[in-house]
Amino acid sequence: MKIFLDSADIGEVEKWYQTGLIDGVTTNPSLIAKSGRDILQTIKEICAIVKGSVSAEVTALDCATMLKEADRFLSLADNVTIKVPLTPDGLLACKTLSDKDVSVNVTLCFSAAQALLAAKAGAEYISPFVGRLDDIGYDGLTLIGEIVEIFENYDFATNVLAASVRNPLHVVECAKIGADVATLPPKTLEMLYQHPLTDKGLKSFMDDWQKTGQSIL
């Protein structure tokens, strides 16, 4: 499973990309707003740091303007993925762009029916939001499973990019289901490392090693 960093914070992108664990980056208007920086400059800088897909989300709601915004993003770097909302205009923009071999990430997906349309529109990625479905009492992971099953039935090329991933259980279950990508905010990534028995075991090893009085170097 590929892991993308879900952030528009340049410092976080640099920090996490240096771990070698990150395969791409996703941003959205809220993350750009949170960064407090210019969107075009931010996307350009992230694309220069990360070799993989960098999702830049359009802010227009009509197809024609989405396509103009997409052209601006595409002029910034070769690894830009255009992110569009799962709306009629968003899918029309997706089809137009994908017909020209432009990488498109269709976001704000909350149903398998929506995902089916995005696949038919030629999306490279579909972003179902796991956590936000959980927030309203649905099981977001069930949606991931439905989409993976449908895409396998028809051999759609669209990658399932699990988004709104809030904790390690989400990540593990997405991997077990077979999501192609999970995009994780830094705080979720940090959680993946952590286990109390690892900390306890390492302390025990170090305490015992200290008693030997030895050193390797």
Q: What minimum distance in Å lies between the beta carbon of 26 and ligand G3P?
A: 5
Q: Does 183 bind ligand G3P (CB under 6 A)?
A: yes
Neighbours of 28 (CB within 10 A): 22
Nearest residue to ligand G3P, scored by beta-carbon proximity: 164
Give me the catalytic one of 2, 15, 83, 211.
83
Question: Any contact of residue 132 with ligand G3P (CB under 6 A)?
Answer: yes
- Smallest gap from Cβ 183 to ligand G3P, in A, equals 5
Output the CA–CA distances (angstroms, integers) from residue 42 to 47, 77, 93, 119, 127, in the order listed. 9, 12, 23, 28, 21
- What are the two backbone dihedrals, phi and then psi, of residue 125, each rounded to the nearest 5 degrees? -135, 145
Shorter beta-carbon distance to ligand G3P: residue 116 or 130: 130
In contact, 173 and 141? CB cutoff 8 Å = yes
Q: Which two tokens stand for residue 38?
A: 């210019």
Q: Is 164 in the site for ligand G3P (CB under 6 A)?
A: yes
* CA Rg value for the chain: 20
Between CA 35 and CA 9 the distance in angstroms is: 6
- Tell me how far, at minimum, the Cβ of 28 lies from ligand G3P, in Å: 5
Quick one: which of 3, 5, 6, 9 contacts ligand G3P (CB under 6 A)?
Answer: 6
Task: Please choose, out of 65-73, 139-147, 160-168, 208-216, the segment that lies near ligand G3P by the rule CB under 6 A.
Answer: 160-168
Of the residues 16, 24, 28, 91, which one makes contact with ligand G3P according to CB under 6 A: 28
C-alpha span between 145 and 130 (Å, rounded): 11
**155, 120 Cβ separation under 8 angstroms:** no
Residue 101's contacts (CB-CB under 8 Å, 6 or more residues apart) are none
Interacting residues with ligand G3P between 72 and 131 (CB under 6 A): 129, 131
> Does residue 51 carry a catalytic annotation?
no
| Contacts to ligand G3P by CB under 6 A | 6, 26, 28, 129, 131-132, 163-164, 166, 183
* Active site (catalytic) residues: 83
